């Protein structure tokens, strides 16, 4: 799934390909509402970017990531999966980078 999201974002003309970095973490312990039997799960995609992109571009990025995830999962009887995408704006003063 990580590769699918990465490839989809790299295919967008609105993002510099070399700036796209993708990673995934799996949480073994989590809670979802009142579900106590493990019938509900979720995938959250968090995208961090520098400010300055207009809303249409941010929506395009969000939808591309969401569609990449949903294309990789299949329904399972008795289970529910929620997929969400959040874009966070990085503070241009607080975020510093270096290439080594």
Inform me whether the pLDDT recorded for 20 exceeds 90: yes
In a domain, 94, yes or no: no
In a domain, 48, yes or no: yes
Answering whether pTM is above 0.75, one says: yes
Inform me whether the pLDDT recorded for 6 exceeds 90: yes
In a domain, 17, yes or no: yes
Residue-range definition of the domain harbouring residue 8: 2-89
Inform me whether the pLDDT recorded for 36 exceeds 90: no
Q: What is the pLDDT of residue 72?
A: 94
Do the Cβ atoms of 83 and 43 come closer than 8 Å? yes
In a domain, 95, yes or no: no
With cut-offs at 50, 70 and 90, classify the pLDDT of residue 28: confident
In a domain, 100, yes or no: no
In a domain, 97, yes or no: no
In a domain, 39, yes or no: yes
Q: Pick from 14, 22, 16: which is nearest to 85 by CA?
A: 22
For 65, which DSSP code? H
In a domain, 82, yes or no: yes
Inform me whether the pLDDT recorded for 63 exceeds 90: yes
Considering its fold, how many domains does the chain have in total?
A: 1
């Amino acid at each position: 799934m990580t590769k699918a999201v990465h490839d989809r974002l790299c295919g967008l003309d609105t993002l510099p390909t070399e700036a796209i970095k993708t990673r995934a973490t799996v949480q073994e312990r989590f809670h979802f509402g009142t579900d106590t039997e493990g019938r509900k799960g979720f995938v959250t995609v968090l995208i961090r970017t520098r400010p300055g992109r207009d809303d249409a571009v941010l929506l395009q990025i969000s939808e591309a990531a969401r569609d990449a995830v949903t294309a990789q999962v299949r329904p399972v009887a008795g289970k529910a999966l929620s997929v969400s995408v959040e874009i966070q704006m990085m503070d241009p003063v607080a975020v510093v980078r270096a290439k080594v």
